[in-house]
Structure 1
Amino acid sequence: MSVKNKVVIVTGASRGIGKVIAQSFSKEGANLVLVGRSKEAVEKVEVELKEENPNVISIIADVTNEEQVKHMAEKTIEVFGKIDVLVNNAGTAGPTTSVKDLAVEDFRAVLDDNLTSTFLCIKAVVPNMMENQSGRIINLSSVSGKRALPYRVGYCAAKMGVIGLTRTLAAELGEHNITVNAICPGFVEGERIDSVISNQGKVRGLDKEEVERELKSSSPLKRFVKPEEIAKTAVFLSTDAAIGITGEDVNVSSGVVMY
């Protein structure tokens, strides 16, 4: 049930959930490819992880750019010889605003950052996985991909799309021993939830403390999810223990969503 020596690509690996996911795979001995837009940020994580795992490289890529994504896959194969696991973590929350005030270009940008990027990365790695008749693809969706969240129309639409993409490709790629699953985090500790709380407060005329209490109270566990809980789920879905799991959208939400 190990991911030791598996070749794992993690997008959006320079900070937040992506960084924690990368750390978890590194601790398990994976051959790790860190992908991010910021050269300085992603190389800093590479240096940190190499202290315990020499088999880590970083690739600078904008995952909404098809040519850069192709280079990501080609470089991974050049260095490690194959691609076993792809974790599509990169994405942005986008604006928190009423639909009447949401600019079309901002809506499209959120779709590109969260949904188109996921498609492009899968498209780039699948030929190698099909050749090897083996692969694990894990897409980061959200509980917002299952339920409506006011003032987040672009984000919800994109994350719902990620779930649809996951299910469709699970059906398409299963005959090649490639599993495709999504993880749906709830409200996760970190910079992003702080921004969500602040923006929701502004839009709704509430103070931050009130918004935070409301969000936590919506969970049976009365707390936010820890990034490490997302990471452990991603690692599990990459092991042989999860070979029979595909087309699923796995909630890691402290019970905010139970379907």
Structure 2
Amino acid sequence: MSARVLITAGASGIGRAMAEAFAAKGAQVWVSDVDKKALARLPASWGAADVDASDEAAMADFFAEVKARWGGVDVLCANAGIAGPTAAVEDIALADWRRCVSVNLEGAFLAAKYAAPMMKAEEHGAIILTSSTAGQYGYPFRAPYAAAKWAVIGLMKTLAMELGPYGIRANAICPGAVEGDRMEGVLAREARAKGMTRDEVYQGYAAGTSMRSFVTAEDIANMAVFLGSDAARLVSGQVIAVDGHTENPDPKV
């Protein structure tokens, strides 16, 4: 794969797995992140930038640098996101709601906004937004996160329609429960909010899938590589869950 791939929040977790998977296929990789320590651990052959995906001025500067150095971008993985608060809706502060929506939704919007002109100029490209199974179902105690991830899907559907005539595809990946540090934090917070143990919440998530399993960051990355490749040249406007088939998104069982 000879492609220029830009990944927001690409220094760790799902984003890092995406970067590694694209790089393994021969792609040029450039990641942005706010985690300076994680950025410092990236391979020297990758581009790396300290950028807040929800800061428009910073994103405009970043994409200007990408255009100056690369001339354009072939694949955008708009992956930046935060978990947001875990609480009953009446206990969520508006500031916390806005921060969660800003990173998860506005971060995806800004990445698409600045990638689209470069892709239009070359009449090709693939935009991959990281949504969530929370963007397909209601999600108790995670109202801002679920709302933002539903909106990401609406954004993706619109991008697919708007940019399709220019040869640009847009799709959304919906990870389920992904093994790793971030999910461990979610499990701990939900356990406190629901008066359950961490293991009870974990088992609830696993039991809520038909395959009785969490997924890995590599599972998500493999789907991103497919969606960014010519093998998916007519796959656009699609919501693709990589979640072991979620049946019950509320981990009570």
TM-score by length of 2: 0.95
1:81–1:157 distance in 2 versus 1, CA, 3 Å: same
CA distance in structure 1 between the partners assigned to 2:57 and 2:3 by the alignment? 25
Q: Secondary structure of the equivalent of 1:230?
A: helix
Whether contact under 8 Å (2:210, 2:247) holds in the other structure is: no
What residue identity is the alignment partner of 1:16?
Answer: G
Matching residue within 40, 43, 47 for 2:40: 43
Residue 240 (str. 1) matches residue 237 (str. 2) = no
Residue 71 (str. 1) matches residue 68 (str. 2) = no
CA distance in structure 2 between the partners assigned to 1:109 and 1:194 by the alignment? 21
Whether contact under 8 Å (1:31, 1:80) holds in the other structure is: no
Alignment of 1:161-180 (within 5 A): 161-180=151-170
Residue of structure 1 equivalent to 2:87: 97
Residue of structure 1 equivalent to 2:146: 156
What residue identity is the alignment partner of 1:200?
Answer: E
Number of equivalences: 248
Whether contact under 8 Å (1:251, 1:257) holds in the other structure is: no
Q: Secondary structure of the equivalent of 1:26?
A: helix
RMSD: 1.2
CA distance in structure 2 between the partners assigned to 1:195 and 1:167 by the alignment? 30
Structure 1: where are the runs of 5+ without partners?
none
Residue of structure 2 equivalent to 1:16: 13
Residue 122 (str. 1) matches residue 115 (str. 2) = no
1:230-249 Cα offsets, whole Å, 9 max, x none, are 00000000011101111101
1:177-220 Cα offsets, whole Å, 9 max, x none, are 00010000111101121111111111111111111111111111
Residue of structure 1 equivalent to 2:251: none
Residue of structure 2 equivalent to 1:110: 100
Residue of structure 1 equivalent to 2:74: 84
What residue identity is the alignment partner of 1:245?
Answer: V
Q: Secondary structure of the equivalent of 1:90?
A: coil
Residue of structure 1 equivalent to 2:127: 137
Residue of structure 2 equivalent to 1:183: 173
Deviates more, 1:212-221 or 1:103-112: 212-221
The percent of aligned pairs where both chains have the same amino acid is 35
Residue of structure 2 equivalent to 1:7: 4
Quote how far apart the aligned CAs of 1:257 are. 5.3
Deviating beyond 2 angstroms after TM superposition, the runs of 4 or more aligned structure 1 residues are none
Structure 2: where are the runs of 5+ without partners?
249-253
